Structures are given as C-alpha cells and as structure tokens.
Chains A and B, each alone.
Chain A
Amino acid sequence: MSIHFFSLVSPPPPGFDTGPVRKRELLSGALALYVLRVADAEALLPDFRARVQGILLTPAAQYACQRLGGGLWQVELPAAYLPQLREILELPLRLLEEQGQNRALAVEQTLNITRLRGELQLTREDYNRITAKLHTQVSDLVHMQELLRQQLDEQLRDKAALADSEAHLRKLADNLQRSNTDLQRFAYVASHDLQEPLRAVAGCVRLLQQLYEPQLDARAHELISHAIAGALRMQTLINDLLSFSRVESRGKAFAAIPMQRVLDAALANLSAARDEAQAQISQDLNLPTVQGDEGQLVQLLQNLIGNAIKYRGDKPPEIHFGFRDSGEDYEFFVSDRGIGIEPKYFDKIFVIFQRLHTREEYPGTGVGLAICQRVVDRHQGRLWVESTPGQGTSFRFTLPKRPEPLT
C-alpha cells in the first residue's frame, strides 16, 4: 500500500499531483486531497466518506479539523501551511493507512465472531438433539428397568413355586418308585409263591379224579375238569405276570444285538403256531444291530408276531417284519393282514390284563402287549399301533441307536 498526494485545486501545493484521481488512487493506501470544498471530493466516488482513508484539505482562514468518516478527516488550514503540507501530512497519512489495516483486522474479527456464533449455534443444536435423544433413552431405560424388576419379581415367585412343585413331584416320584418296587416285589413273590400251592391244588384234584372215578357222576367229572382248567389258567396267568415283573427285575445289561438273530429266535419259538396257522412271514433284508437285552427283544418280537398269528381271521396270516433308519433311532414294525383293531382301543391294548376278546374267541391273559410296552420302555423307545379293522395291524417300535446308560 502507499500514500498519495493529489490536488483538485490549481496550482497544487508543493509535492501534490494534479493528474486525474481515479478509483485506484482513492482506494489504495491513504490519500491527501486538496480541494476547495468537501463536495468536490465526494463527487469522485460513491460512499466517499465511508471508503476513503486520508485527509481532505480545504483552504480556510483558521486551522480546524474534523472527522468525516471512519478513516477520513477534514483539515481546514490557512495558505501559509501549504509549502510544508506534504511533509506535515506524511506521518498522519502513514498512521491512517495503518489504521485502515487495523480496521480490516477488526472487520475480520467481527466476521470470525459471526462465524463462531454460527458454529456455537450448531453445537447448541447438536447438544439439544443429543440431549433429547439421551432423555428418551434414559426414559426407555427406566421403563425397561421397571419391567425387568417386575419380571424378576415374577420369576422369583415362579421359581419359589417351581421349587415347591419340584419338591412335591420329587416326593411323588419317590413314593411312586417305592410303590413300583413294592409292586414288582409283590408280583414276583406272589406269582412265584403261588405256583407251588396251585400245582398242589391241581395235582390233588387230578388224584381225586383218578381215585374216586367210579364213584363220581358226570356232574362231578365236569366240576373237576373245570377246577383243573381253572388251575391251569391261573398258572398261565401267574407265569405271564412273572414274565411281566421280570422285565424290570431280571433285565440284563444292554449289548450289541443283531436283530436278525432276535427275529430268528422269536420265529423258532413260534414254529408250532406258525405251522398250525400256515403263516407266511417275510422280512426286510440287512436288519441292523441294536443296543439291547437280547432275551427281552426276543420276547418282544415273539409277542408281536405271536399276536399277528393269533388274530389272523379266516385266512392264513401274512406277516412282515421291517425297519427304517430315522437318524437317531431305528424304527421296527410287525405288520399283518389280520382282523385289525378299532382306534378307540389303541391305548387300552397296552394295559395289563386288558383284553378285547373273550377267552373262547381268542385265548390269552392280556399280558403280552403290556410286556412289550415295558420292554420298549426299558429300551428307551416308543411303541404304538396303527390299524384298520378288517384290514390289518402294524405294531411299530423304536430303539435308540445310542440309549442312555441304564440306572
């Protein structure tokens, strides 16, 4: 920047230029301008007082000085000062130029403050936004905390109730276990101990029949025959009951058992019944090996296939033994084309001593399927029946590939 000395009055003061005063001279650095009237200078530039930095010099009889704008002063002075005017004004003009630069800094600071205000406003808006969000989140958290407290109270109450229920159930289970054990012991002892007196009764009745045959009339013979038959039925019942109780009491540890061997043994035990009924029995190939108690599994198949032979209807029985691999289990089935079972009896047939037919129609004690159920239970499997009356029946049972260890 620079300082300029111009005069619109001729002749100019010493050191003052008279050339055209352009905008570039008016607005660069600081200016000393000698004019007759202030209005002559103001005509050079709009906003002259606001934008020009410098000193307007006007002739006057007395010295006077006044400020016209931020960086513009008017000095009235007698002609006597004109020869030294340039030297006199040089320092004030330099100061005015410097003041102009300071004013630019002040403007910059004002702009900075305006900018900072804007950024502060921005930060305040962020603060309000995040505070509002936090309030919402805190409110949600308080609400959730209350819910959690309620849930915790409920859970504690439920847990106490559950503990009571568990204790009650444990007591019931213990009682049940004791009852089962007692019942098994009773059944075994009763059936085992009943054998001998029953044999004695039957033997005595037979002896009575032999010794007193001549004296006995037809009615006495009939009564003795009924007594012997009843004793035999009771013996059968006792044997079956003994077998039922032995499923738990005499069960053996599980071992790997080929089901083909089980099937072969069961069929061998049923050979007489098969021949008598002219039964056709088929099977799936490649029967798997399972974990189980071989004797009980033989009894299971023997009972199921024996039932299929027994409840065959008018035609010779057609029976099939098969299986499928269902992943964790093997599912086996014994299917026949016999008389079938009404669906309403599907559950009843597995209850001990429950029978759907009279002894005259089909002999039996009603223990066979109960034994089957118990054997499958002990092997941790499931036994069920699918049947359509008149068309046939499938008994299905599962055996897990990896049963839990027996307790």
Chain B
Amino acid sequence: MRTLSTCTRLDDPYRAGLALGTALRPVAPEVVFLFSTVHYGQPPELLEGLYDGLDNESVLVIGNSGDGFYESGEVSDHGVAALGLNGEGRLRFRLATEASLGEDPEGAARRAWASLQSGGEKPALVFLAADFRTDATRIEAVLHDEIDVPVVGGLAADDNRMQNCLVFAGRQMLDDSLVMLGVYGPLRFEIAIGNSLSPVGRAGLIEAAEGTSLNRIDGLSAADFVERETGKPVLESDRGIVTLSIANPERPGEKRLRSIMRHAADAEGSISLYGGIETGKSVRVCRAHPADLIAEVQAIAERATQLDFAPKAALIVSCVGRKWLLNEQIEHEVRELSQSLGRRLPLAGYPSFGEIGPLKDEWGYTPNLFHNMTYVLLLLGD
C-alpha cells in the first residue's frame, strides 16, 4: 500500500485542489480522502483542480467538509487536506452515492450498502461521509442492524454555524447525500474510539424525546435536568462540554454520547442534540475536561504502536465539540499519533458533527454506532 497526505490553505478552490492533486500524484492514488472547510463551495472547482492535479480521471474521491481539517503536520480552521491511497493491486475500491438523505436516511444507507455488495463481494471496511442535516440515528439503525462490516466516518460539518456542508463523491460536490466507499481485499485496519468522558451526578430516565429533540428527563425539562446535574443553565458554549452518556444495560461496554447542539435550550426547556435519542433510555450528564481528552488520545496513540501491522495511513473523525473544548490544544488530536509512532504518518481528518464507528471490546468490534463528542481513529495497513 502506498499512501501520501497533503494539505493547503490556499483560498482559491481550483488552486487548492490543483495543489493537492499535484502533491499526491507521486503515489498514483486510487482513492483520495478529501476533507475541506466549507468555503470551497460550488461550483466544484476544488475537485476539478484535484483531478487536474492528479491527472487521472479514474481516482475515487470521497470526503466532506468539516470545521477545519487535520493532516499529518497541520491542524487548521481553514483549508483542505487529502490522503491518497494506492492498494498496489491487492485492494479494490467502490464508491456508492445516495441522495435524498434528509427525507429517507434509512433508505439512503440501505441502498448505498446494497450498491457496495452488487458485485457479489462484501467489503472488508466501509468509509462513510454524509450531510449532517439528517437524523443520524436513523442512519445508525441501518449501520447497526444491517451492515455487518465495520463502518467508519461521520457527518460533514461547517464552520460551526450549522448552515451548510459539502459531501464529495468523485467529481461531484453534493448536499443532502450519503457516500460510502467500500474497500475490498486483504486490508489490515484498526479502529479506535475515544469517548471516555466522566459522568457526573445521577442517571435520569428519558420520558419524552423525539428525533434529536430531548424533552423531559426524570420529571424535569431536559434543560432543567442538565442544570440540576451541572449546577448552571445550559449555555451555547456548552456544546461538546456538556454531553449525555446513554447506557446500554444489555451491553455495558456499548456507551454512546450525545452532545448538546448550538441554540439548544428552547422556551419549553427541550434540548437539541447532535443525534437522536430514545425514550426509556437512561442518561447521565458528562463533563469533559481537556486533560482527559488528551490523555485518552495519548493512550490510543500508544496502543497504535502495539498493533500486529505497521499503519501506513490514518483517518481521524473527531467531534467539533472536542475542538471547541480543546481550543489551542486541538493539535493533540493529531500530534500524539506521530509522536507515538515516531514518524510522520500520512493522515487526514476533520472535526465533524457526528462520528461513526464500532467500539472494540473483548468480543471484537461491536455493531456500528453513531457517536458525539468522540474521537474516531482508523489506522490502515497491509
């Protein structure tokens, strides 16, 4: 496997794409993972420049916009990063794109998965990119129940205004869409999830919730419940800092997080979350501390040195809430990995509005889950 990553902060979309494509051309990538900030909008000159730089029309491009980007040597609020990957004939790749995501998230996920299997072969791994303006819990239902291979990825993001986003599929720059990349063949990979926030206070039973709106917990409005547990009102700046942990009593290791969304608390005391949540589940409020997040990423990076294969590339999908909380320390999301491995690993990633990936427990990978406030690391090798 040959891999290479690069990034640029050129503001002109064509120039930026061209710079990336030109930089990646030495590994003749078959697939490019592309993560940009949202200001490279339509027309899709970023992709035009990328293909012109690659000088290869057959390259598969998948990716989306994020609230900044991560690359091996850089973390930035603006610009674009790309990871090129050449399977050297041992791996095959297929791209599936589905529209109408907002209207029918389950159908879009189901059809994309069916498309990836249409050749009669099941992929070893799936990477997913999707518009954030949907109920990701409904995508998760399909990923969790119907797709029995690990799916890694997340929801696109913008510059934290929650207004717009881009999803990349080949030369197309899409919205309201979901894209899946199937990787076929003897791929070695490791998925690590960092979501160990500290619960505080008492557990509460969700009495009323609808989609991503959380209405009542323990006889209180959701906002009052959070205030009861944290001792202060729900604030805009609580995004990512105040998170709800959803426990699954049937599988204790399967913990999911839901972060409070911007413009959250309404007059009724409901709270909007970055993902759906179900009535009847038990939740606890979590408070995140930068030092804890960094320590967990350090532990994940340390484990990356003990794998039975040498990682040749990495993808990182990490919640915007973590970025909001870590602030200047956001570079740790990338730096720890390079420091542990002792080399500059080709890497690309982005701060997302929702992360996707299975957890790993003693039985292997759990079914695929949708997370918030989570750090998802995918290490690739051969």
Contact = CB atoms under 8 A, between A and B. Distances in A.
B160 A118 contact: yes
Interface stretch (A106-114, A152-160, A161-169, A341-349): A106-114
A101 B48 CA distance: 20
Contacts of B78: 108, 111-112
A93 to B, nearest CB: 15
B161 A28 contact: no
Contact of A123 (B48, B232, B237, B262): B237
Contacts of B79: 108
Contacts of A112: 77-78
B236 interface: yes
Contacts of A86: none
Interface stretch (A125-133, A215-223, A268-276): A125-133
A51 B9 CA distance: 16
Contacts of B253: none
B53 interface: yes
Contact of A27 (B9, B11, B12, B77): B12
B233 interface: yes
A357 interface: no
A126 B39 contact: no
B10 interface: yes
Nearest to A132: B233
A126 B53 contact: no
B274 interface: no
A378 B49 CA distance: 107
A129 B235 contact: yes
A125 B18 contact: no
Contacts of A1: 19
A24 B53 contact: yes
Contact of B233 (A22, A103, A111, A133): A133
A107 B11 contact: yes
A126 B236 contact: yes
A359 interface: no
B13 to A, nearest CB: 10
Contacts of A22: 52
Interface string A13-29: 00000000011100110
A125 B236 contact: yes
A101 B237 CA distance: 34
A114 B49 CA distance: 26
A147 interface: no
B77 A130 contact: no
Interface string B31-58: 0000001010000000011001100000
Nearest to B10: A104
B350 interface: no
Interface in B70-105: 77-79
Contacts, number: 63
Interface in A360-386: none
Interface residues of A, number: 26
B159 to A, nearest CB: 6
Interface in B140-167: 159-161
Contacts of B161: 118
A122 B263 CA distance: 9
B237 A126 contact: yes
Nearest to B160: A118
A324 interface: no
Contacts of B10: 101, 104
B281 interface: no
Give the dominant DSSP class at B's interface: loop
B15 interface: yes
A115 interface: yes
A115 B320 CA distance: 14
Interface residues of B, number: 27
Given A24-B53, A104-B10, A111 B15 contact: no
Nearest to A22: B52
A97 B147 CA distance: 49
Nearest to A2: B22
A366 to B, nearest CB: 64
Given A126-B235, A129-B233, A28 B77 contact: no
Contacts of A28: 15, 18-19, 22
B236 A27 contact: no
A132 to B, nearest CB: 9
B225 interface: no
A2 to B, nearest CB: 9
Contacts of B77: 111-112, 115
Interface string B222-238: 00000000001101110
B49 A104 contact: no
A130 B160 contact: no
A114 B12 CA distance: 18
Tell me which of B10, B49, B232 has the highest count of chain A C-beta atoms within 10 A of its own C-beta.
B10
Contacts of A105: 9
B132 interface: no
Given A24-B52, A112-B77, A122 B236 contact: yes
A122 B14 contact: no
Contact of A122 (B19, B49, B53, B237): B237
Given A104-B11, A108-B78, A27 B237 contact: no
A130 B19 contact: no
A115 B11 contact: no
A115 B159 contact: yes
The residue in B14, B19, B48 that gathers the most chain A C-beta atoms within 10 A of its C-beta is B14
Given A23-B14, A104-B9, A111-B77, A130 B235 contact: yes
Contact of B9 (A108, A115, A118, A125): A108
B232 A130 contact: yes
A338 B323 CA distance: 93
Interface in A40-84: 51
Contacts of A118: 159-161
Interface in B319-341: none
Contacts of B15: 27-28
Nearest to B232: A130
Contacts of A119: 160
B186 to A, nearest CB: 36
A234 B337 CA distance: 113
B121 to A, nearest CB: 36
B197 to A, nearest CB: 21
A126 B236 CA distance: 6
Given A104-B10, A111-B39, A118-B161, A27 B18 contact: yes
13 contacts: A27-B14, A27-B49, A28-B18, A28-B22, A51-B12, A107-B11, A108-B11, A112-B78, A114-B159, A115-B159, A115-B160, A118-B160, A129-B235
Interface of A: 1, 22-24, 27-28, 51, 101, 103-105, 107-108, 111-112, 114-115, 118-119, 122-123, 125-126, 129-130, 133
Given A27-B49, A28-B22, A104-B11, 11 more contacts: A27-B15, A28-B15, A51-B12, A51-B14, A104-B12, A108-B11, A111-B39, A112-B77, A115-B77, A122-B237, A126-B237
